[in-house]
Structure 1
Amino acid sequence: MASTATHHLGRLRTVRVPLAKLYRLSRFPASEPFWAAQALHRFDSLSRSFGVLYCGDSPETAFAESVLHSGSDKWDQRMGAYLLSESELAARHLVTYSHSYKTELLLADLTGAGLKAIGLNNDVSSSMDYRLTQRLSDALHDHDAALDGISAASTTGTAVMRFSSAAACSMTRMRSFPTN
């Protein structure tokens, strides 16, 4: 998958997303933004050369991406549902971001026609083999388009993965609201 995608990145489609329209559910709002850099998550850098901030385009998508997606231990196969404790939810804060001069992000469009243009399909958002998507993340980070990150399908909307950079690291937490 990644070698085909890397070959076709010249056909990459992009989308612009307002920074203020990104949401994240965080247990530690004072330490936001949090840059995942351990090659543990879907679009983390395989080379560990940069960090990734995982967000959603709505509070619902942020919930799906950070709480439900963060571990299969929350899925109860017998009940066919996610089981979450009230304390797990109460410990989260809804976080939004701002930046002193950057109001929108240029993202690689890894949804629908954007995926097709580079020879991929929605398996990018559902594959359990993260090495492939992490390799793709490295290639997109290094792309000539100077991308700020990736836009990909989520179960409830669009997930946004923001690459760390000098400009990204000067991003600040705009607001934080307890979820309880």
Structure 2
Amino acid sequence: MVVALCVTAPLTACAEAETMGSEDAAIVQRVADGDSIVLEGGARVRLLQIDAPELGEGECYGKDALEELERMLQPKGAIVLESDPRLDRVDRFQRLLRYVRVDDTNVNVELVRRGAATPYFRRGVRGRHAGALLDAADEARDERRGMWGSCRVSWSSNRQVETRPAR
């Protein structure tokens, strides 16, 4: 369909079609951790372009990040999964890599805005929501929200976040 659109539509429509990801409706079974969920049917999803502190590895804010995501995604709740054509669709653990939306809220961006996650651009590749993710991180850090006010945070957008309890 994109090929037909690009042949018959103006160049702006062709460029727009190439940057849009596919969208799929899904139902949440449970939240696995601060940046991963399990869908009804068992498919696992890693929220795209973010990283939350890990559970049980001595990191600060891992349990809090999980609880923040649980507040946003209720079991049996309807969500929209959005891929990004610039990025991988599946990770090495066979998890789907997706942005998650509830109504009009981009959950990935909102978790970063709340200080429960940071942007993570694997291999430096930035997806279409990179600007919003970076802006949300600046806002959370400046306002000392979530992990930024509770932990010592070591972060850059090209590596996973590390947190330690504040002294």
Q: Which has the higher contact order (CA 8 A, sep 6+)?
A: 1
